[in-house]
Amino acid sequence: MTRMDKNAPHIICGGLIALDLELSVSGFPVAGAKHKAQASRLVGGGGALNAAGAIVRLGGQVTLYGAIGDDDLADVMRARITALGVPLDQVHVVAGGVTPHSAVLIEADGDRTIINARDDMLATGLPPLPQPFGYDAALVDTRFPQITHALLTAARAAGKPAVIDAEAPVRLVQDALHHASHIAFSVQGLTDYAGSADADAVAQVARNLNAWVCVTRGPDPVLCHDGRSAYEIPVPAVVAQNTNGAGDTWHGAFTLALAAGQGERQAVHAANAAAARHVAGLAPCSAQDGV
Ligand SMILES: Nc1ncnc2c1ncn2[C@@H]1O[C@H](COP(=O)(O)OP(=O)(O)OP(=O)(O)O)[C@@H](O)[C@H]1O
Ligand SMILES: [Mg+2]
């Protein structure tokens, strides 16, 4: 796929669009103390936007579906979305709403700690999805159940991959989960949903929900289950610089690969490669190039 290729798969990404204030710190803050950051960046974030940005960088086409406020942050948010090459046409503005934003601490080993502020009502007034479903796949996060449900059902009805990034709390989107063709949990998400994040939990969820299921586990192999058998796919070893958005990059690359007609194993390899490059601070490359 080449950049901005009009024949490239077109993914609709729905969910959280946020501004991330990343602060690099030498160690985790001491309660009650004052600290000086070693570096800071104000960047586009949130699951849907991070995934959309990754899809654009990998050569796919994207529609970002979600909501921001009409507050002081909104203009900065729009500028950051545009800077990622992501179109604004399905980014809706809610009067009186607060644009979601996060404080993100980045430690020396690349580990991130996130505090996100968002108004749960932000997505209640969204206009309906464009009809008919004209995309090659849908990718949703769990942050706004209305968006999650609408996109998964529309994609599934159209016979397209319907992928969910299952982050805690997953039970808020319990109904929507039944419409997903592919459910990719984080450790926190699967532990929240199934009580543990091991191979048994992955198998049980795959069978119960009749979907392809996996759990990403940072640098450890991705545990997968296709409803019949389990398998692991290793993650490339890299020196982590910044893991903020790694999972979102993973889901964007995974969904793009599925939409391009790749099987799940190949798609996980592509997602691992893209996420590893993101974590290492390397420029993205096409899924075929590896790390
Ligand atoms: N240290 C790392 N080294 C190499 N790859 C990593 C590393 N951390 C994450 N990844 C890649 O990113 C994928 C997703 O990471 P992880 O499971 O930590 O996401 P997450 O818990 O959902 O977090 P988030 O969504 O906030 O990024 C992993 O499966 C792996 O492919
Ligand atoms: Mg995640």
Chain segment 87-108, per-residue pLDDT in tens: 999 999 999 999 999 999 999 9
What's 173's DSSP letter?
Answer: G
Which percentage of the chain shows pLDDT scores above 90? 90
Q: What is the pLDDT of residues 109-123, one digit of tens each?
A: 999 999 999 988 898
With respect to residue 221, please indicate whether it lies within any of the assigned structural domains.
yes
Give the pLDDT score at 5. 79
3-state helix, strand, coil in the chain (%, to 5): 35, 25, 40
CA distance 81 to 49: 7
Residue with the nearest Cα to atom 28 of ligand 1?
A: 218
Q: Determine, yes or no, domain membership for 21.
A: no
- In this prediction, residue 290 has a pLDDT band, given cuts at 50, 70 and 90, of very low
Residue among 191, 235, 268, 282 to mutate when testing ligand 1 (max atoms within 8 A of CB): 235
User: Reduced to 3 states, what is the DSSP secondary structure of residue 186?
Assistant: strand
- Which residues are found with C-beta within 5 Å of the ion, ligand 2? 186, 247
pLDDT tens, position by position, 10-44: 999 999 999 999 999 999 999 999 999 999 999 99
- Which atom number of ligand 1 is nearest to the Cα of residue 165? 22
Angle at 209 between CA 52 and CA 64, to 5 degrees: 15
Residues of the chain above pLDDT 70, percent? 96
Give the count of domains, the chain.
Answer: 1
Cα separation, 213 vs 64, whole angstroms: 24
- pLDDT-derived band at 285 (thresholds 50, 70, 90) equals low
pLDDT, residue 288, reads: 42
Query: Per-residue pLDDT for 291 more than 90?
Result: no
pLDDT of residue 28: 93
| Residue 246 is assigned to a structural domain of this protein | yes
Task: Establish if 260 belongs to a structural domain.
Answer: yes
284 has a pLDDT exceeding 90: no
Strand partners for 264: none
- Among the bound ligands, name the one nearest to the CA of residue 216: 1
Kindly indicate the confidence band of residue 4, based on its pLDDT and cuts at 50, 70 and 90.
Answer: low
Looking at residue 130, what is its pLDDT?
Answer: 81
pLDDT of residue 71: 96
Q: Indicate whether residue 52 lines ligand 1 (CB < 6 A).
A: no
Please give the Cα distance from 12 to 31 (Å, whole number).
41
Closest residue by Cα to atom 21, ligand 1, is 186
Question: 135: pLDDT confidence band, cut at 50, 70 and 90?
Answer: very high
pLDDT, one tens digit per residue, over 43-60 is 999 999 999 999 999 999
218 φ/ψ sector (left φ>0, alpha ψ -120 to 50, else beta): left
Whether residue 70 has pLDDT greater than 60: yes
What is the average pLDDT across 139-166?
Answer: 96
Measured in Å, residue 245 CA sits from the centre of ligand 1 at: 8
Residues 50/74, Cβ–Cβ less than 8 Å:
no
- Ligand 1 within 6 A of 242 CB? no
Instruction: Output the CA 216–ligand 1 centroid distance in Å.
Output: 6
Whose C-alpha lies nearest to ligand 1, atom 29?
216
- Range 77-83 average pLDDT: 97
CATH of residue 143's domain is 3.40.1190.20
| Whether the Cβ atoms of residue 12 and residue 65 lie closer than 8 Å to each other | yes
**Residue 149 pLDDT > 50:** yes
Ligand 1 pocket check for 240: Cβ under 6 Å: yes
Does ligand 1 come within 6 angstroms of the Cβ of 190?
Answer: no
As a whole number, the mean pLDDT across the chain is 94
Classify residue 153: in a domain, yes or no. Answer: yes
Q: Is residue 55 included in any domain, yes or no?
A: yes
23 part of a folded domain: no
Statement: residue 234 has pLDDT above 80: yes
Confidence of residue 286 (pLDDT cuts 50, 70, 90): low
Does 218 sit in the ligand 1 pocket, CB within 6 Å? Answer: yes
Range of the domain at 260: 10-16+47-71+122-283
CB contact at 8 A, 224 and 202: yes
Domain membership of residue 252 (yes or no) is yes
Q: In what order do the strands lie in the sheet with 39-45?
A: 39-45, 18-24, 101-106, 112-117
Place of tokens 């319990």: 174
46 lines ligand 1 (CB under 6 A): no
Is residue 248 scored above 70 in pLDDT? yes
Q: Taking 80 as the threshold, does the pLDDT of residue 289 lie above it?
A: no
Any ligand 1 atom below 6 A from CB of 279? yes
